[in-house]
């Protein structure tokens, strides 16, 4: 059995400030001085300064240099970090240095964020010629390294900052295309075109930080960044992000949506971008709520509500009907992000996935050996937000959504694809009943009637069909009445859920704000909205 051998450490002095710089691996070609931020290239027994790294942004990540863990039976240490930026956000790539063994030298890997989750990946040779990034389109298939990959995103990225020990010299402030691809084996691949003649190819899989047996984590992760509080550019109230990677935050006073993607330093306060939004509703589950929830079943884990979105679909014509729903952004220090979704059909909990489903016919896709049937295709937009978000929230953000579902008895699983710009995000989850939502949110018993939206999760199919037929007839009659006497456009929601329901109030707000004159349900959402959504590694 191969045993790990101690790695031979090498130390030299920074040519800029004289501070000691230590290398844990002979394979590492570069490092960033922790004292003066000089980026250094290792040349034999000497170091040469090749640039200066910008300061790293503070973030919520529990990781830090020196943390250690295990993956696939091998130990590793977190030796370095790259902080990448692109138009809609930023992400970290942590350089992992794995232990050497009797028959293998030490190797490097990367632990990176991926739509609020984490991926471990390894660089690999690519035998064929990499495709021209200008010819790639989100959602299309590409054959690379003997596998079929779905293009998930295409972005121009910049290496904003770096620290620690790195396998390659960092090319700071250089912009280049980064393409993410996903396959049916739940793998994510990346093509980085920093060298267009020889792009870097890497393949990885999603991991849970809790499964990596990590030690030496940052204790203060997730603390409020009060020292970086900013005044709202519209009303002057203090903005205090709870998560360092927050890119958008909503002012608690005037409800303006403020873009803090360029940092939270006082020198940036005067140049913060913001937009005002129409008044929305108060979420049923308050921001800051913490509770236990099992995203895909199994053991419940702690999650906190950090954001709230109101969304609706966009009818294709005045004869179509409109649906409104709400999404709660959940955060877990070790799990990343997920979404708790409240629709007129019931509650669900979903999170972005690393892989992608395969086509299983004209009206279905296959994921985890289950055939999900297509239910809706529609365009959705965001109408109101509260809290903070790990992507840049834009006014009336729109996405093309395709919803699918899989049923087995009373169990309902959901799969959703959302395309916004040059990115396609797949989310997977399950329907949950109102009782589980109440346990998570610890709301009082008298709030249960407002939480009950689970009419489809366990309903008898004959009863469901009967209600659909009745619903269609009622809607037809409603439209006739609307044309005849200009009745309230949102009466269907008031009659079905009550005048104080979230559905009725959201419909009324939307009608006042945009002149919408039609109601109902031309689709629905299984949620999991994520524009940008973290890393691309």
**What's residue 117's pLDDT?**
73
Q: Enter the tokens of residue 80.
A: 């370095």
Whole-number average pLDDT of the chain: 80
What CA–CA distance (Å, rounded) separates 295 from 51?
44
Q: What sign does the CA torsion over 70, 76, 79, 85 have?
A: negative
Query: For residues 267 and 228, what is the distance between their CA atoms, to the nearest angstrom?
Result: 11
Confidence of residue 475 (pLDDT cuts 50, 70, 90): low
Of 189-198, 295-304, 511-520, which has the strongest mean pLDDT?
A: 189-198
Cα 200 from chain centre? 24
Q: What is the pLDDT of residues 2-32, one digit of tens each?
A: 334 444 466 777 878 877 787 766 556 677 8
Q: Are 390 and 245 in contact (CB under 8 A)?
A: yes
Residue 123 has pLDDT above 70, yes or no: yes
Higher pLDDT: 248 or 487? It is 248
Tell me the average pLDDT across 249-271. Answer: 72
| CA-closest candidate to residue 536, choices 185, 207, 155, 201 | 155
Which residue has better confidence, 504 or 107? Answer: 107
Using pLDDT thresholds of 50, 70 and 90, give the confidence band for residue 317: confident
Residue position matching structure tokens 């939502």: 437
pLDDT of 82-115, one tens digit each?
988 888 777 889 999 998 765 676 789 999 976 6
Q: What is the C-alpha to C-alpha distance for residues 443 and 445, in angstroms, rounded to an integer?
A: 7
In the structure encoding, which two tokens stand for residue 135, read together?
Answer: 């010819």
pLDDT > 90: what percent of the chain? 43
Residues 366 and 374 sit within 8 Å (Cβ to Cβ): no
CA distances, 350 to each of 52, 342, 417, 430 (Å)? 41, 11, 12, 7
Let me know: does 193 contact 176? Beta carbons within 8 Å: yes
Q: Output the six-digit token pair for 358.
A: 């395969």
Question: Which residues neighbour 170 within 8 Å (Cβ) at sequence distance 6 or greater?
Answer: 30, 32, 39, 51, 53, 82, 159, 162
Q: Which of 235-249, 425-439, 441-455, 480-494 has maximum average pLDDT?
A: 425-439
Separate counts of helices (H) and strands (E) for the chain: 5, 31
Question: Is residue 238 helix, strand or coil?
Answer: strand
Residues 341-390 have pLDDT tens digits of: 999 889 999 999 888 999 867 789 999 999 999 999 999 999 999 999 98
SS3 240: coil
For the whole model, what pTM was predicted?
0.74
* pLDDT (0 to 100) of residue 489: 64
């Amino acid at each position: 059995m191969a045993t790990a051998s101690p790695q031979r450490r090498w130390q030299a002095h920074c040519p800029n400030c004289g501070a000691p710089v230590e290398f844990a691996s002979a394979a590492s070609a570069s490092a960033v001085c922790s004292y003066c931020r000089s980026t250094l290239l290792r040349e034999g027994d000497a170091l040469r300064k090749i640039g200066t790294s910008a300061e790293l942004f503070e973030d919520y990540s529990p990781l830090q240099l020196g943390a250690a863990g295990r993956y696939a039976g091998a130990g590793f240490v977190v030796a370095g970090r790259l902080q990448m930026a692109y138009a809609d956000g930023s992400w970290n790539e942590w350089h992992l240095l794995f232990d050497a063994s009797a028959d293998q030298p030490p190797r490097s890997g990367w632990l990176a964020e991926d739509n609020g989750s984490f991926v471990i990946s390894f660089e690999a040779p690519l035998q064929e010629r990499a495709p021209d990034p200008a010819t790639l389109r989100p959602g299309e298939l590409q054959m690379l390294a003997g596998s079929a990959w779905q293009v998930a995103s295409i972005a121009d990225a910049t290496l904003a900052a770096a620290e620690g020990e790195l396998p390659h010299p960092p090319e700071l402030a250089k912009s280049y295309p980064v393409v993410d691809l996903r396959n049916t084996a739940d793998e994510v691949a990346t093509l980085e075109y920093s060298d267009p003649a020889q792009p870097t190819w890497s393949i990885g899989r999603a991991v849970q930080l809790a499964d990596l047996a990590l030690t030496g984590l940052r204790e203060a992760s997730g603390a409020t960044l009060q020292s970086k509080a900013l005044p709202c550019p519209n009303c002057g109230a203090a903005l205090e992000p709870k998560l360092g990677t927050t890119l958008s935050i909503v002012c608690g006073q005037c409800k303006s949506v403020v873009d803090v993607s360029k940092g939270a330093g006082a020198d940036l306060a005067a140049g913060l971008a913001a937009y005002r939004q129409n008044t929305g509703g108060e979420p049923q589950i308050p921001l800051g709520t913490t509770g236990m929830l099992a995203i895909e079943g199994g053991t419940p884990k702690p999650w906190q509500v950090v954001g709230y979105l109101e969304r609706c679909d966009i009818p294709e014509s005045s004869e179509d009907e409109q649906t409104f729903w709400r999404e709660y952004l959940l955060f877990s220090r070790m799990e990343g992000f997920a979404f708790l979704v409240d629709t007129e059909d019931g509650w669900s909990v979903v999170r972005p996935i690393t892989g992608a489903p395969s086509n299983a016919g004209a009206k279905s896709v296959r994921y985890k050996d289950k055939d999900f049937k297509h239910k809706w295709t529609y365009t959705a937009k965001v109408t109101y937000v509260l809290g903070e978000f790990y992507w840049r929230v834009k006014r009336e953000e729109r996405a093309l959504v395709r919803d699918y579902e899989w049923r087995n008895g009373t169990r309902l699983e959901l799969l959703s694809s959302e395309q916004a710009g040059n990115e396609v995000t797949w989310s997977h989850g399950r329907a949950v009943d109102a009782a589980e939502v109440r346990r998570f949110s610890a709301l009082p018993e008298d709030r249960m009637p407002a939480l009950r939206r689970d009419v489809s999760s366990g309903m008898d199919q004959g009863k469901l069909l009967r209600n659909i037929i009745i619903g269609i007839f009622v809607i037809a009659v409603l439209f006739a009445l609307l044309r005849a006497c200009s009745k309230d456009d949102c009466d269907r929601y008031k009659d079905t859920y009550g005048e104080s329901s979230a559905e009725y109030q959201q419909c009324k707000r939307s009608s006042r704000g945009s002149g919408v004159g039609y109601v109902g349900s031309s689709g629905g959402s299984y949620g999991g909205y994520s524009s940008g959504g973290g890393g691309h590694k």
